Structure 1
Amino acid sequence: MADRRILVDLLGFTGSRGGTETYVRELLPRLAERLPHVRFAALTGRVGAERVSSFFPGHVQTVPWVGADPATWALGAVAATGPVARRGRADLVWAPANFGPVFRGVPRVVTVHDAIYDEVPGGLAQRAQRAVTSTLMRRSARTADRVLTVSHAAAASISAHLDVDATRIDVVHNGSTAPRPVADPAGILAPLGLPADRPIVLSVGNRMPHKNFPGLLAACATIDPAVRPVVVVAGSRLPDPLAEDVRRLGLERDVVLPGWVSDDQLEALFQVADLYACPSLVEGFGLPVVDALRRGVAVLAHDVPVLREVGGDAARYADATDAAAFGAAITSALTTPPDAAMRADAQRWASRFTWDDAADATAEVLDRTRGERRR
């Protein structure tokens, strides 16, 4: 059998874009194992070239004028990906980070992780910043041969907001990362200055509006200071935009904003956390929820379909748009923690989401899409 060629559009890869980059790092090496007759090539920008080369199972081509900013990434997806695919005689283009080419040409699969821009548009300035990205996502999804997404809730949202026929959407759940406990969590976390005598509530994510971290801080402020936990919100560049909310709410002693943390620090945070809180208004999947459950950490999530899809009966739910209600739910979760049997059930639930299963299903979609176009 002659080698087939798949061009992977990684122009937006920078090493700091969270879940979408975890997705490609976990899937691509596994896809190479499952598709031995495929030659993979990647197209990336100058910022991501070295990082992509560290895990990508094939040739990496750099577009030097594509930087970390969304504008050049978008321009590269529109202007560079199609021509490179044609010159390289690619049988298929896979765009795994929400958008890619916007015109039909080489058969294409795009992974749209969510339709958050449409569900939580943010303020006027944020809508203006996202306008181009949102338009490209919609156009890219509508012209793709197949659309992959990571949850049934996301599929429904994409169909409704991006006007994509539901029959062209394939749902493949993300996997979860196996625990990698560190030997000395206290030592690794010492630079963060966490108190040793107070419960710890952990949350992780970027500072986009849908993450609703101001809502989490407002909930924390409703808790009696005598029993208030320490809330650690990791995942932002410093200075953290949440710092102003912390000052306004008088939570300087109660909130730690460590910025980006290393993999070992994140594992250590899971080890010391008494509760993982996910106040997100909407998600494509909600990887940290599954990762926390797999590590036996109790989870409290905003009560929306996607988080119930990934958290099942293993997590607790409350309305994170109601500060008092979410604050009361945090207190209840800390005072009535799950017992050993409940934690074991949660770990079994979360272990159902594996990157190996995700790779199997993704490989099938990529292979099928090429065949459908040829027929």
Structure 2
Amino acid sequence: MKIVIDARFTRTDHHDGISRYGASLIAAVAKIADVSMLISDPRQLALLPDVPHTLISSPLSPAELFVARKVNRLNADVVVCPMQTMGTWGRKYGLVLTLHDLIYYEHPAPPGFLPAPVRILWRLYHKAYWPQRLLLNRADVVATISRTTEALMAKYRLTSRPVRIVSNAPQPAQQPRDPDTLPEKTLLYMGSFMPYKNVETMLAGMAELPDYTLHLLSRITPQRRAELEALIPAGASVVFHNGVTDDEYAELLRRTTALVSLSKAEGYGLPLVEAMALGTPVIASDTPIFREVGADAAKYVDPESPAAFAAAVQELGDAPQWRDVSRNSEARAGQFSWDESARQLVAVAAEVLALRNK
């Protein structure tokens, strides 16, 4: 079975969530199946595994409507796209499209890196569910990364196609921290600064945590940084890193008291698993997706309550409790792996092939 995975959503500078998901999945699938990938920019290869590739047009170009004509020439049995927007006109191969989440129906502001015309279409697209149905029903099977999103897809009847889970996972395990070595009084946030990420509640909670420093790790625009700096309470310690390397991120995770995410909506919550894999406790919004990912290992708080966030941090100041949460976190993260995700994807591809051969 020949599988082609669409890697054209890979970034050229550093991974975002979709980019890392696709690259990690390709690397894991390559261990157990005949896989190649599609790219749209040679610079993407720096962030992708060493597997055969084909250079075609950008997924954001008008040529996407006819991309199947080019993909047909590769004689793939199954093509897998980590998004739901791949062109399908005239395709002769099995197709798996992926829907990660439904965040942008509730929070429709588009990512800032998209071109202006695409941002306009993005907002229009998320005003109703029928465009999503049209996209997803072009596939043979639809993949998603969590049971939470799977349930939402069923609730809104987003597709008549079979829906299967191809999980997200952390990067290959590094040496976890020693739970007997007590942490620094720091807190980490890894994620974007879009409004639904709710960084504002974290900042407000720091008023009750004068002994702690909050590290905001991700890249941020000057305008958004100025907005958030104006909200930092007097006496609170907050550091903007504006981006860190993977090695720097792992080292910070090994020293910190907890990783924090008070996001109001997520498709998965990969930073939670990345932290837990190193034995770092997690404080997260009490939402279905975070409950699914963190199970009983994470500490959950009302995302609207700065006081609840601060109280959860203070509870982790108790050394025996911190050690227990650290050990539970590492054990929980061990249930996620890219090798398992690869097995899930190969099973989905086999299902698609069987459906088309009926």
State the shift of 1:48 in Å: 4.4
Work out whether 1:7 is the aligned partner of 2:1. no
The alignment status of 1:120 with 2:120, answered yes or no, reads no
Q: 1:207 to 1:322 in 2, by over 3 A?
A: same
* Partner amino acid, structure 2, of 1:95: C
Q: Report Cα offsets for 1:163-195 as digits up to 9, x if no partner.
A: 224x61112322223443599xxxxxxxxxxxx
Distance 1:200 1:366, change over 3 A: same
Matched, 1:211 2:197: yes
Structure 2: distance between partners of 1:217 and 1:129: 33
Say which of 268, 271, 276 aligns to 1:293.
276
Q: 1:76 to 1:108 in 2, by over 3 A?
A: farther
Query: In structure 2, do the counterparts of structure 1 residues 374 and 203 end up closer, same or farther at CA, with 3 Å as the change threshold?
Result: same
More helix by share: 1
1:150 corresponding residue in structure 2: 145
- Show the counterpart of 1:275: 258
Whether 2:282 is the aligned partner of 1:313: answer no
- Equivalent residue of 2:224, what SS? coil
Overall identity of the aligned pairs, in %: 25
Matches within 5 A, 1:221-236: 221=207, 223=208, 225=210, 227=211, 229-236=212-219
Preserved contact between residue 10 and residue 97 of structure 1 (Cα < 8 Å): no
| Per-residue deviation, 1:224 | 5.2
Q: Is the contact between residue 295 and residue 347 of structure 1 (CA under 8 Å) also seen in structure 2? A: yes
Using structure 2 for the length normalisation, give the TM-score: 0.84
Tell me, in whole angstroms, the C-alpha distance in 2 between the residues paired with 1:132 and 1:324. 37
Q: Which runs of 5+ in 2 are unaligned?
A: 178-182
Q: How far apart in 2 are the matches of 1:252 and 1:8? A: 50
Deviations 1:196-223 (A, max 9, x none): x9710111012233322223223324x1
Q: 1:334 to 1:182 in 2, by over 3 A?
A: closer
Q: Which sections of structure 1, spanning at least 5 residues, go unmatched?
A: 67-72, 184-196
The match for 1:131 is 123
Native 8 Å contact 1:293 1:347 kept in 2: yes
Structure 2 Cα separation of the partners of residues 322 and 47 of structure 1:
46
Contact 1:102/1:139, CA 8 A, preserved across alignment: no
Q: How many residues align?
A: 342
- Contact in 2 for aligned 1:174/1:355 (Cα 8 Å): yes
Checking the alignment, whether the CA contact within 8 Å between 2:38 and 2:55 is kept in structure 1 is: yes
Pick closer, same or farther for the CA change 1:24–1:214 going to 2, 3 Å: same
Q: Cα distance 1:333–1:149, how it changes in 2: closer, same or farther (>3 A)?
A: same
Distance 1:340 1:275 in 2: 12
User: Aligned partners of 1:86 and 1:255: how far apart in 2?
Assistant: 52
Q: Deviations over 1:80-107 (max 9, x none)?
A: 5312112333322211134322557332
Contact in 1 for aligned 2:109/2:123 (Cα 8 Å): no
Deviations 1:308-361 (A, max 9, x none): 111011111001122333233333334566343442232112101111111111
